[in-house]
Structure 1
Amino acid sequence: MMSRRRLGFGALAVVLAAGALLLWTPTRQLLFGTAQAPRTVVVSGNIEAHQSVLSFTNVQAPIIDLPFDEGKSVAAGTVLARVDDGFYRQQLQIDLAALDVARQQIAVSQSNLAAAQNTVLSDRLDLAEKKRDLERDAQQLKVGAVSRQTYDQALTAAGQSAAALSRDQALVKVAVNNVGLAEASLKDAEAKVGLDRVTLSYTTLKAPFSGVLAVRQAELGELAGPGVAIFTLDDLDHVWLRAYLNEQDMGRVRLGEPASVTTDTYPGHVYHGRIGFIASQAEFTPKTVETHAERVTLVYRIRIDIDNPTHELLPGMPAQAEIALLRAGK
């Protein structure tokens, strides 16, 4: 009898415990929610940076100054190299002399124009006088006060004065054209001098942006010219990680999303980046991946922009990034 009673108490305790568990579980979920670890994806790739191969433009001469070697950090505008500029300075002096001649030619042409205009003014005064003489002689001829010969001489003088005026007016037009030609020659000379100054500036090679000289491809005395590489300049302040994202994860990442970047070179150091680019078209995994199964997988190229003020991250360095995946439907 006692055994049955104990067995009953035991069964009742089991039922009560099960009920309490059933009641506690929904209450806990209601209060705290279902525990779910955030999902992340890890992508691998290589660090890249903007690289610019620097060379001289529109000049060809021996290198006479090359003050920096590889690995040197330089600011934008720093002089990296110079070539012998003697020929280009001489050309500038020649064109400056031609510019001075063009300016003097304008002064001469303007003086000739002023003289021609004054001559026309004198011709008009002379013609007016000759016309008055002719009119007076014509009146006196009617009353017999002057001879026919005197009248004819006055008529000829008036005609000659009119012809002289026409000739000098034509010379004024010529002088005006000469001034125009002189002004055009001056503009041409000024343009040549301006081009000479620009060309002369090309004999100095300056850094177009702040960065690190990754490669030096020239030496003193070598002949530099268009297309002949002198330096390769890397912008290490702003680098990025080129990586690839699997097709199934594409819908769960967004532009601007943060990413944690790490490298084997600096273990434990986390670099903060953001997704700056996601390709719009899929491609096969790059051939650098070893297994064929992974190479035939469709992936999307992404770029993770990383600030690199200490220049620890260098182009070509392997790195990996951890990206938190968004929940489905977001």
Structure 2
Amino acid sequence: MIDKLHTTLSAHRLQVLLALALLAVAIGAYGAWRWSALFGPSEDTSHVVVSGNIEAHESVLSVTQVQAPIVYLPFDEGAYVKRDTVLARLDDSLYRQQTEIDRTDLDIATAQISANESTLAATHNSVVSDQFDLAEKRLDLGRNETLLKSNAVSVQARDLALTAERQSAATLAHDQALVEVASNNIALARANRAAADAKLKLDQVMLSYTVLRAPFDGVIAVREAELGELAGAGVAIFTIDELDHVWLRAYVNEPDIGKVRLHESVDVTTDTYPGKTYRGRVSFISPQAEFTPKTVETHAERVTLVYRIRVDIDNPTHELLPGMPADASIALLAAGK
């Protein structure tokens, strides 16, 4: 009887212990589920996921140094254009006319050089002739001086020969001065031609400013002008985005930055294209820490020190657009490796 009672108590105790064990397991499972629901899954220490926005090289295009109405504007927003494509053209009639005037001035300056060179050549010939004439006049003077000593000629004849020699010397000096003048005129004409050529080139540059070209392959994001509008320096006509190569600006917490490497491969995902992964690489790590940007909601996160990084992403299909939110998964390496 006692043995039977002992057996019954042991079985009851075993059932109680088993029930307590099952209860403990249930409580543990429930606690794990609640922890996961409240705080998320356990942190993966092999990767860090950072969030940011897609950015692209963006240029606001306007004309430079000129002012004229727009007469050609072939593209609308969303158009893809290649580098050097003509995006806009201004009325260039005034600038084209100025270049024609400059060409005429250049031709005149060139002709003036030729005229002065001809003058110089003629003056050189005159100097040579003057030199021969002076030599002859000096011989005549010498003969008359000799003949005067023997009374073969009169004093008047000797004086006439002396006057002729002096006149010939003066003519030679005059023509030699004209050679110098002609040489200076050639130098001046060449300077004028150089100035005219520079003026023509400057106005040709101004003429080229009446044509607005795409600085790179890209997509027109904003068209800010219409045909007939007066375009001028600093007045925006187009905004163009370079979408072939975009980047993600993101921030890494200070404890993890030592485990991120430059040129490291990165997986980038977006909410817009779920399930699709874009390959990128870390192209920049800021050398300076900063506080988390104010766009982060909680105060605790805003006062956390972070480092800005840039992840370059090839975007041949132009799916990734500026401002689009994206996440990047970065494999963490051991610090110092």
The alignment status of 1:92 with 2:70, answered yes or no, reads: no
Amino acid at match of 1:260: D
User: Aligned residue for 2:176?
Assistant: 169
**Per the alignment, in what secondary structure is the counterpart of residue 95 of structure 1?**
helix
Identity %: 68
Q: Pick from 62, 71, 75: which aligns with 2:82?
A: 75
Runs of 4+ more than 3 Å apart: none
Which residue pairs with 1:301 in the alignment? 308
Uncovered stretches (5+) of structure 2, i.e. residues with no partner: 1-43
Alpha-carbon separation, structure 2, partners of 1:261 and 1:89: 52
Post-superposition offset of 1:115: 1.6
Query: What is the TM-score normalised by the length of structure 2?
Result: 0.85
The alpha carbon displacement at 1:38 in A equals 6.7
> Could you tell which deviates more after superposition, 168-177 or 101-110?
101-110
Q: What whole-Å deviation, never above 9, does each CA across 1:117-165 have from its counterpart, x for those lacking one?
A: 1111111010000011111111111222111111111111111111111
Assess if the C-alpha contact under 8 Å between 1:77 and 1:207 holds in 2.
yes
Is residue 2:267 matched to residue 1:260?
yes
Whether 1:226 aligns to 2:233 is yes
Partner of 2:9: none
Partner of 1:240: 247
Please list the CA deviations of residues 166-192 of structure 1 after superposition, one character each: whole Å capped at 9, or x if unmatched: 111111111111111111111111111
| SS of match in other structure, 1:254 | coil
What one-letter code is carried by the residue in structure 2 that aligns with 1:118?
N
Aligned equivalents of 2:141 and 2:335: distance in 1?
A: 111
- In 1, Cα distance between the equivalents of 2:310 and 2:187? 60
Matching residue of 1:286? 293
In structure 2, distance between residues paired with 1:184 and 1:40:
70
Partner residue, 2:190: 183
Q: Give the Cα–Cα distance (whole angstroms) in 1 for the partners of residues 275 and 148 of structure 2.
A: 124
For structure 1, the residue ranges without an aligned partner over 5 or more in a row are: 1-36
Aligned amino acid, residue 132 of structure 2: L
C-alpha displacement at 1:328, in angstroms?
A: 4.0
CA shift for structure 1 position 78: 0.4
Q: Distance in 2 between matches of 1:64 and 1:259?
A: 47
Is the 1:213–1:231 contact (alpha carbons within 8 Å) kept by the matching residues of 2? yes
Q: Is the 8 A contact 1:287 1:295 kept in 2?
A: yes
Matches within 5 A, 1:1-330: 39-330=46-337
Structure 2 CA distance, aligned partners of 1:163 and 1:275? 87
Q: CA deviation at 1:109?
A: 1.2
1:22 is aligned to none
C-alpha separation in 2, matches of 1:68 and 1:206: 12
Q: CA deviation at 1:200?
A: 0.8
For residues 178 and 251 of structure 1, what CA distance do their matches in structure 2 show?
Answer: 74
**What secondary structure sits across from 1:281 in the alignment?**
strand
Residue-by-residue CA offset, 1:222-272 (whole Å, 9 max, x unaligned): 110110001111110110000000000011111011100000000111000
Q: What amino acid maps onto 2:293 in structure 1?
A: P
Post-superposition offset of 1:93:
1.4
Tell me if structure 2 keeps the 8 A contact 1:38–1:324. no
SS at match of 2:58: strand
Pairs aligned (count): 294
User: CA separation of 1:148/1:47 partners in 2, compared to 1, >3 Å: closer, same or farther?
Assistant: same
1:327 CA displacement:
2.2
TM-score by length of 1: 0.87
1:203, 1:151 → 2: CA distance? 78
